[in-house]
Amino acid sequence: MTLLILMALALSIGLGYITKINIGFFTIVFAYLIGCFGMGLKPAEVIELWPVKIFFIILSVTLFYNFALANGALEKLASHLLYKCRRFPQFLPLAIFLASTVIAGLGAGFYTVLAFMAPITLLLCKKTNMSMIIGGMAVNYGALAGANFMTSQSGIIFRSLMENVGINAQTSFSYSLGIFVVTLIIPVVVLGLYTFWNRNSNSIFIEDQKPEGFDLKQKKSLFLIVLMMSIVLIFPILHLLFPEAQTISFLNSKVDIAFIAIIFSLISLLMKLADEKKVIALVPWGTLIMICGVGMLIALGVKLGIITILSEWLANNVPIWLIPFLLCLISAIMSVFSSTLGVVAPTLFPIVPALALASGLNPLVLFICIIVGAQSSAISPFSSGGSLIMASAPADVDKSQLFNQLLFKAVPIGMTAALIALLILKFVM
């Protein structure tokens, strides 16, 4: 059964890639067939494996942030951030990274930011003579780093996955903060080195055209986003600073980002900040199906003890110092062909507590290894990030050349930077 579940997961990823059908549909079918006919579970027991908590959190948070997407507030924010860089064109890669990070950190999420920032970025590359590979890396890195923020889409998913394997909410918040910081520093260093190397180059040119100002609805949306982030972040931070304060501990235990997001969604609806149907349509239903579908299959593996078996094998057969690097490479290879949120994190996060216990390694380091590794190759044209960049390329761009540059230039750069970062992290933590 253990081998069958692993084969089903691998087959689901392969079929999803070949057929272009959401992987979640395949994993749900395999979960039903293996659970009911292989493990003797009742259909109702298999249905209960659907990760309701993760589903509700992603649904509620993305629903709220979609108001700022629907009324154009986030897109206009990106234009203003890029405009600020017009007098320093050599810093354009860092400006694109910053704009993508801020917008993704405000809750737009990785896929959404890439969907509307990648076309803008590649057009900027064409107009300003900037390398499309550097532009693609900048927007991809920014969307990933910003989405990893504790209250943004990826950060929330990471925290939920951690809590599903027994890590308490306060610790999961700290771990997700660590992931965000590391995935923010790596691209700043990589893009900073590129900027320094090309500091005397005059090849990049930015047009001096100021974007339009924010309208009233857009200002209200941005204000509500900042307010919600403040409410959600202030209590965990205060609890870290004052762990003995009972009032803060009580409030921290009751403040839930999913319910806060629903409240702010209702406020946004009452303020008529965007059309309700458009906001609901922007919910990433495909991502939800993929994450929850894979989660059902992984939950079957947990029932069989596959997580413990895999963790003990790694701890007993691989030198302890090599485990973080091996985990990073496994994540990177998986992410070349699949999604970090939909496949890599739901598959590998469950093994971390047992692996940390068996090897004595810090769980935070292992979580960071998984995400840093997965996101180092997320720009692959076979993965979601790279495919979106390929789809966003202008019509007159040589797609085959861009494909080769993404796969054989951007991915190796990302993986090398990830391994160097983990080597440094090993001496720090």
What does the pLDDT read at residue 391?
Answer: 67
* Residue pair 83/97 in contact by the 8 Å Cβ criterion: no
Stronger pLDDT, 173 or 290, i.e. the higher one: 173
Residue 256 confidence class, pLDDT cut points 50, 70, 90:
confident
Query: What does the pLDDT average to over 374-400?
Result: 76
Residue 271 confidence class, pLDDT cut points 50, 70, 90:
very high
**Is the confidence at residue 88, as pLDDT, over 80?**
no
For residues 81 and 404, give the distance between their C-alpha atoms in angstroms, rounded to a whole number.
Answer: 30
Query: What does the pLDDT average to over 56-79?
Result: 83
What does the pLDDT read at residue 341?
Answer: 82
What does the pLDDT read at residue 344?
Answer: 85
Burial class (CB in 10 A: 0-12, 13-18, 19+), 286: middle
Query: Minimal CA–CA distance to 66: which of 350, 251, 299, 261?
Result: 261
Residue 392 confidence class, pLDDT cut points 50, 70, 90:
low
For residues 303 and 428, give the distance between their C-alpha atoms in angstroms, rounded to a whole number.
Answer: 36
Share of the chain above pLDDT 70, in %: 91
> Average pLDDT over the chain, rounded to whole?
84
Residue 42 confidence class, pLDDT cut points 50, 70, 90:
very high
* Residue pair 191/97 in contact by the 8 Å Cβ criterion: yes
What does the pLDDT read at residue 92?
Answer: 82
What does the pLDDT read at residue 202?
Answer: 59
Q: pLDDT tens digits for 1-29?
A: 778 888 998 898 889 878 888 888 999 99
Q: pLDDT tens digits for 152-172?
A: 888 988 998 998 888 988 899
For residues 376 and 411, give the distance between their C-alpha atoms in angstroms, rounded to a whole number.
Answer: 7
Query: Minimal CA–CA distance to 72: which of 103, 93, 102?
Result: 103
Stronger pLDDT, 215 or 202, i.e. the higher one: 215
Listed by start position, the domains of the chain span: 1-48+284-429, 51-283
